[in-house]
Amino acid sequence: MKKAKVLIIDDEQELVTALTERLNLRGYDASGVVSLSEAINFIKQIPDVIILDIGLQDTDGLEVLKRIKEINPSIQVIMLSGYGDTERINKSLQSGAFDYLIKPVDIEDLVSKIDSAKLKKEESI
């Protein structure tokens, strides 16, 4: 199976850089952005999986999730939460998120979820 094309959207530049580098080292085609305006161009390129912070500074992660699903419902979204906010996590799952992780992210958990999400995307096409 070809490794997933991944987009990371988070307002913490250090996290975006670290995750992008670690995923690229593992053979994924990973890119990262820190704002919604930057993300829109990447979303239109149809990544397999998007890692999305639920608490973005410039917009609400749940709204971004809804926009992603409007652009292309087959894109799988893994939400990140720094707080374990169960209400927002549940809303994101109800809105079509594939899964979620709590920060700090364990890279092995993330890789496992990315691979599962890519399989789900391929099944939905």
Percentage of residues in the chain having pLDDT higher than 90: 74
What's residue 48's pLDDT? 97
pLDDT, tens digit (0-9, with 9 covering 90-100), for 31-61: 999 988 889 889 988 999 999 999 888 788 9
pLDDT, tens digit (0-9, with 9 covering 90-100), for 75-101: 999 999 888 788 988 999 999 999 999
Beta strand ranges found along the chain (DSSP E): 5-9, 29-33, 49-53, 76-81, 99-102
Percentage of residues in the chain having pLDDT higher than 70: 98
Q: What is the DSSP string of the chain?
A: -PPPEEEEE-S-HHHHHHHHHHHHHTT-EEEEESSHHHHHHHHHT--SEEEEETT-SSS-HHHHHHHHHHH-TTSEEEEEESS--HHHHHHHHHTT--EEEESSPPHHHHHHHHHHHHHHHHHH-
Give the type of residue at 35. Answer: S
Does the global pTM surpass 0.85? yes
For 51-72, what is the mean pLDDT? 91
Question: Which of the four pLDDT bands, split at 50, 70 and 90, describes residue 1?
Answer: low
What's residue 84's pLDDT? 77
Domains along the chain with CATH numbers: 5-124 (3.40.50.2300)
For 5-29, what is the mean pLDDT? 97
Mean pLDDT rounded to a whole number for the chain = 93
Q: What is the distance in angstroms between the CA of the first residue and the CA of the last residue of the chain? A: 16
